[in-house]
Amino acid sequence: MALFQNTLLSIAEKAQQLTCALGEESAALLNNNVDNGPFDGDPAIPPPSDEAWDLAQAMVTDFYQMIAILTPRHIQTLKFSFAASLETAIGIAAHFRVADLIEKRGGRASVDDLATDADTDANKLTNVLRALTARHMFVELETGVFANNRHSRTLLGGHGAPEMIESYALVSGKAFDGLLPVMTDKSAMHSIDPRDGAFARAVGVPKGITEWIMLPENEAHLAQLVAGIPWLTSMVAHRIVHEFDWRRWGPTARICDMGCADGGIMSLIKAETPSLHIICQDLKATLPMTRQTFALSHPGAEERNEVEFIAHSYFDIQTTEADAYWLRGVLHDYTDADCVRILHTVANQLQQNPQARVLINEIVKPSMVVPEHDKDAPASNAAVRTQSAFLEMSSLMQLHTTAFLAGKERSYDEFQLLFAQAGYRIARYHHLHLFTAIMELELVQ
C-alpha cells in the first residue's frame, strides 16, 4: 500500500500548498465550468507564481500515477490501444465546429440538433462527444444534451484553434501509420531526414510534411494549417514573451532571430518591448513574408531602423552583431554534426562580445526515472525541472514530432553533450510553462 498512500498524501499536501500559492480568488477558478482558469493566460486573472505552476503540474503527474494504480492492468493496456480514437474524436469535433454549434443553440444543444446542424449522423456524433466528455472536453448536461466547458471553448472559431486541432488530429495523425514500418526498416530507421520519415512512409510519397503540404492537391490542408498557425503561435509566444527577460541586455538590446520564418515571435517580443532592435534572418525567399508580418504589426519599423531583415543561412558564418541569437525549433531538424556546424557559425560573435548569448528554444525530451530504492515515491518526485514542462503532454509531443516531422528530439543531458562538442555550455535553463524550454548558451572559456 506504500505507493498508493504516498501518492495520495502527495496530492493532498500539494492541493493545500496550491490553494495558498494561488490565493482564494484564483483558486476558486480551478473549475471546468468557468470561461478561464488561473493557468489559461487570461490577462484579467493574476498570473500564477512559478510555485503554483510547479505544484499544479506535480499534482497532474501524481494524478496520472494514481489512475494507473487504481486501474486494472488489462484495462490500462487497452486504454493505450484505443488512444488513437481520442485524436480522431477531437478532430471530428473541430471539423464540425461543435463548440460553435452549441453556442448558436444558446449554450446547450441536443445531439439531434447538433447532428442536423452538422449534417451528420446523430448516433455517431453521440459516440464522438461521449468519448470527449469522459475526459472533460464538453459536458453532457442531461442525456443527449451537451454544452461547452472551459476546455471545449478552445474549439470556438475565430482564432484558428479548430483549424489547427483538426489539422493535427486528422492530417499529422497519419504519420503514426508509418512509424513502425520506418522503425523496422534498416535502411531508414536511423535517418532523421523527413523524406525517410514516418509521415513520408504513411502518405506513400518521399516528402516530409513541409514539401507534401505544398503540393497542389493538398491546397485545402495548407489553407487549414495556415488558418491555425496564429492560434498556435499566440499560445507559444505568450510564454516566450512573458516568461523570459528580453530586457536583460538593456532596453535597446539587439535580438537576432536565426531562422525567423514569418517573424511572428519577434513581432510579439517587439510589441512587448518596443525599444528592442530586432534582426530577422532567414533564406531570401522567406523574408517577404517576414516583412509583411512587421508591416502589419509595426508599420514603419524598418524605415526607422528598428527592425532589420537579412538574407542568411544559419550554416553560414554569422556576421551580424547582436546581444542574443535566437534559434527556435532549429536544432531538432538536424543531426548532431549539423547542429555543431550551426553553433560554430555564431562562436566568433560571442568571442567578440562575451556577454552575448545563444538562446535555444526546443522541446527538452522528458523522462520519469524511478530508481529502485525510490519505487514507492510519488511520480512527481521523478519529474525534474531540466526538461519540458507538462510531463505527460511533452512526452506525447516529442513522439508526435518524431513521427510527423522526423528530426531528433533531445534530452537535457543530450543537449549538454551536443553543446560541449560545439564549445558551449548551458549558462541558464529557463523552464517555460509550456512544452518547450529556453537554454541560454555561453562559450566555454
Query: How do the domains of the chain map onto residue ranges?
Result: 2-77, 83-157, 170-226, 245-443
Taking the C-alpha atoms of residue 431 and residue 409, their distance in angstroms, rounded to an integer, is: 17
Q: Give 104-145 pLDDT, tens digit per residue.
A: 999 999 999 999 999 999 999 999 999 999 999 999 999 999
- More confident call, 370 vs 339: 339
Question: Does domain 245-443 match CATH 3.30.1480.10?
Answer: no
Q: Give 31-80 pLDDT, tens digit per residue.
A: 888 888 899 888 888 889 999 999 999 999 999 999 999 999 999 999 99
Which grid coordinates belong to 237? 509566444
Instruction: Using a pLDDT cut of 70, give the percent of the chain over it.
Output: 100
| pLDDT confidence band for 194 (50 / 70 / 90) | very high
Pairing type for strands 145-147 and 108-110 reads: antiparallel
* CA proximity to 271, closest of 299, 243, 250: 299
Mean pLDDT across the stretch 133-161?
95
Instruction: Examine domains 83-157 and 245-443 and report if their fold is the same.
Output: no
CB-side neighbour CA atoms (13 Å) of 240: 27
Taking the C-alpha atoms of residue 362 and residue 383, their distance in angstroms, rounded to an integer, is: 18
| Cβ atoms of residues 167 and 89 within 8 Å | no
Which grid coordinates belong to 19? 490553494
pLDDT of residue 11: 97
**366 phi and psi angles, rounded to 5 deg:** -85, 160
Please, what is the average pLDDT of the chain? 93
Which grid coordinates belong to 224? 487549414
Taking the C-alpha atoms of residue 37 and residue 151, their distance in angstroms, rounded to an integer, is: 10
Q: Give 233-268 pLDDT, tens digit per residue.
A: 778 888 899 999 999 999 999 999 999 998 999 999
The domain made up of 83-157 has a fold known as Arc Repressor Mutant, subunit A (1.10.10)
| Cβ atoms of residues 422 and 349 within 8 Å | no
Q: Assign residue 23 a region: left if phi > 0, alpha if psi is -120 to 50, beta otherwise?
A: left
| Cβ atoms of residues 2 and 376 within 8 Å | yes
Taking the C-alpha atoms of residue 308 and residue 136, their distance in angstroms, rounded to an integer, is: 46
| Cβ atoms of residues 107 and 138 within 8 Å | no
- More confident call, 400 vs 270: 270
pLDDT of residue 225: 83
